Amino acid sequence: MTANPIFCALDTSDVEAAAKLAGALHGTVGGIKLGLEFFLAHGPDGVRRVAGALPLFLDLKLHDIPNTVAGAMRSIVPLGAAMTTLHASGGPAMMKAAADAASEAAAKSGGRRPMLLGVTILTSLDDEALPRIGFADKSAGAVQRLAALAQESGLDGAVCSPHEVAALRALCGPGFKLVVPGIRPAGSGADDQKRVMTPKQAMAAGADYLVIGRPITGAADPAHAARLIAEELA
């Protein structure tokens, strides 16, 4: 897709600010990530406007019955996203239906099939919260179990924390894409991220793509901040 592994998270509902940032970052990042906050405010038109020619990670974390998620996937494919997300806990039938729908929609339109990424265990859920939502295993085990299920069910990769990368790379092999948030360049603050790694550490552990938000979007010169990270990785 792109040699630059950095996807910048534009976490805003302000379409002008997002478009300005995306324009400024063109050429210094591999792509941008837009999530529910932006999508629910501006929909497909806003997404097209902001992403332009930049590769897009559309992070909508789908989770519903297979028929509904397949339908959602048919609506996502024309947006031309490079990657999109669904919850692996939606189960194998849901993931298979999504993968089939994405392939069919892409073939029909002659467009690209997005990389489908499984969300395993949200990093906001700790080992105390997991049993309360019915998970018997601890988060490390649950992440591996769900990533393996995502792979078996036809997904292309998973979103995971930097500290899960090495184990998932070993479990799922080299072809399974690992997309990793919780990245902080050396010397920058952690914000609300609890367990971070530097871009270099995460890539060395086996990440394919890095999702980086505030260290870039909060910098006085976002393009410069992105360029410094890309240069450190080159």
Pattern 100-129, ligand C5P, x by CB under 6 A: ----------------------xx------
Write out the two tokens for 120. 């395993």
Tell whether residue 181 is a contact of ligand C5P (CB under 6 A): yes
Q: Counting contacts by CB under 6 A, is residue 212 touching ligand C5P?
A: yes
User: In terms of CB distance, is 11 or 64 closer to ligand C5P?
Assistant: 11
Distance of CA 58 to CAs 23, 112, 128, 222, Å?
17, 14, 30, 21
Candidate ranges 107-115, 139-147, 168-176, 205-213; the one touching ligand C5P (CB under 6 A): 205-213
43-51, 62-70, 74-82, 210-218 -> range binding ligand C5P (CB under 6 A): 210-218
Backbone angles phi, psi at 116, to 5 degrees: -100, 125
CB of 115 to ligand C5P, least distance (A): 16
Q: How many residues touch ligand C5P (CB under 6 A)?
A: 15
Range in contact with ligand C5P (rule: CB under 6 A) among 38-46, 107-115, 206-214, 226-234:
206-214
Structure tokens at 88: 């692996």
Q: Of 146, 184, 172, 195, which Cα lies nearest the Cα of 6?
A: 184
Distance CA 192, CA 118 (A): 23
User: How far apart, in whole angstroms, are the C-alpha atoms of residue 166 and residue 157?
Assistant: 14
* Residue 124: strand, helix, or coil: coil
Residue 121 main-chain phi, psi, to 5 deg? -110, 125
| Least distance from ligand C5P to the Cβ atom of residue 11, Å | 5
Q: Pattern 35-74, binding to ligand C5P, x per CB under 6 A?
A: x---------------------------------------
CB of 207 to ligand C5P, least distance (A): 13
Of 13, 68, 103, 193, the one binding ligand C5P (CB under 6 A) is 193
Whether 200 is a known active-site residue: answer no
Give the helix ranges, DSSP H, for the chain.
15-25, 36-51, 66-76, 92-109, 129-132, 139-152, 165-172, 199-205, 214-217, 222-233
Q: Is the torsion defined by CA of 36, 149, 158, 145 positive or negative?
A: positive
CB of residue 110 vs ligand C5P: minimum separation in angstroms? Answer: 31
87 binds ligand C5P (CB under 6 A): no
CB of 84 to ligand C5P, least distance (A): 13
Task: Classify residue 10 as left (phi > 0), alpha (psi -120 to 50) or beta.
Answer: beta
Number of C-beta neighbours around residue 174 at 10 A: 8
Residues that bind ligand C5P (CB under 6 A): 9, 11, 35, 122-123, 159, 161, 181-182, 191, 193, 211-214
Residues identified as active-site: 61
